[in-house]
Chains A and B, each alone.
Chain A
Amino acid sequence: MIDLQNVSFSYGREMILHQVSCRMANGEVVSLIGPNGAGKSTLLRLCARILKPLEGSVLVDERPAGDYPVKAFARQLAFLPQSRPTPAISVRSLVTLGRFAHGKGDREAVEAAMQTVGIASLAERDMRTLSGGQRQMAYLAMLLAQESPNVLLDEPFTHLDISAQLDVARVIRQMKDAGKCVVVVMHDLNLLEQVCGRAVLMDSGRIVYDGNAADCLRSNALQDAFGVRILENQGISFAKR
């Protein structure tokens, strides 16, 4: 569970987040949406302790995030940033690194994570030889192997084709079913309803909508935040064949 209480943040004099409060529970997938520069990724990085809040507090499982030792925090919360280098190691080695905070490789957890995500057949492949979608799945397996009850994903659908996007959506639902608290920053609103039940819409560093994802898509807040008009009955949805 992640609880943000009146969190503000600035880069120098430029305020990025203004007194943001939000509580995200276990067994829930929450998507952070909003226009570019709304503060979504900043919020995620504050939850992940990459950044420190200017004001307010971030609680992870009822305890201030800053109070956890580094490895203990990794066992509570896993974060996948949007951009990252591709290491010259095998998929299995990558997934094994998810066990770093546990102090041992734990082969069973690694194999189970690869099975869950559906990349067991790629275990010995070099990460550099995989497609973008396969790499993303390998990183998701690493996150699963970390066995943290809270998971943060920053734009996990970016640059993926529709099939790979649906694979990622499936893994996110599996995380939810396993009782994890999953927070996803996403831009593709077509996937919103498939991925999560709750949407938090941000604009200019403030939360302007927090509620049902389907309702969010038809809300005035969404139209105002993005400066767009919703065309009724012209939504697009996809299903995996």
Chain B
Amino acid sequence: MHEGAARRILVHIRLPRTVAAILSGAALACSGAIIQGVLGNPLAGPNIIGVNAGAGFMTLLAGWLFPMSAGLLPAASFAGAFLTSLVILVLVQKTNASRLTVVLAGVAVSAILSAGTDLITTIAPEITLGLTAFRIGGFSGVSAERVYGAALYILPGLVCAFGMAQRLDVLCLGDETAQSVGLKVKSARTVLLLLASLLAGAAVSFSGLVGFVGLMSPHMVRRIAGGEHKRLLPLSMLTGAVMMLGCDIIARTAFAPYEVPVGILLSLAGGPFFLLMLVKGGRSHD
């Protein structure tokens, strides 16, 4: 292969794709760790409680309403993620919902958002191009422009999350104890949820609806390194990034010359993982 062509492939295709997988994995894992801490629910994760679906719906809506404004997509994605988080948070605070109720509410919210997505694609079939890939999630068509644009949201978001590690620890003590040791519980929870939505929304804007990284990574790390967030957050980011990059490499090479969307691999691994957690959670409640 010509050296110039090889270089162009490396710089314009391979490198953005690698960066996309790393950023998306780290952002979704960090978002999952934050959401689990804020809701006090280890079953929560951006895809489980509908945050990814909210981000996806708003991304499509923005793509339909403002087709020429690609730069708007991360912001739209963030708005969708945040509004969905807010719905779940209000539900938890108003009804003192159990862990399973939060999960079931996520299913309901995801179903509503999915119906909204279907409605858009019915009204505007011209934007369905690439919709299937977006829904499954993957990095095959990812552009450098979108990845580096989203990085402007993700990198500061990851740094801010690390700075709020101790607040997350305090929140895990329960609202009354957290307030007693000096935390403004409601504002801390809102800021952290904004941060988790920013991270999940920015990741979804270029990777599509990849699932389960945000659920699995914090869980695996918590088992090995404990739940203290100054360790949990960076190690979850690392685990998420490695998991996403590894899955993307497998997705590209395992069935070559065909490529499997990375979202399929993650769902194949994450689905059983989530079922196992539900069974374990059910047993511990018994």
| Interface positions of A (Cβ within 8 A of B) | 45, 48-50, 70-71, 73-75, 77-81, 83-85, 87-90, 93-94, 97-98, 100-101, 126, 142, 146
Contact = CB atoms under 8 A, between A and B. Distances in A.
Contacts of B228: 88-90, 93
B4 to A, nearest CB: 53
B173 interface: yes
Contacts of B180: 48, 74, 77-81
B179 A85 contact: no
A220 B263 CA distance: 71
B176 A70 contact: no
B40 A85 contact: yes
Contact of A89 (B176, B182, B226): B226
A40 B170 CA distance: 26
Given A85-B40, A90-B226, A73 B182 contact: yes
Contact of B183 (A45, A50, A78, A100): A100
6 contacts: A70-B182, A80-B177, A80-B180, A81-B174, A90-B226, A100-B170
Interface in B165-209: 166, 169-170, 172-174, 176-177, 179-184
B222 interface: yes
Contacts of A79: 176-177, 180
B170 to A, nearest CB: 6
A85 B172 contact: yes
Contacts of A48: 176, 179-180
Nearest to A79: B180
B181 A98 contact: yes
A169 B179 CA distance: 25
B227 A88 contact: yes
Of A45, A49, A83, A97, most B-chain CB atoms within 10 Å: A97
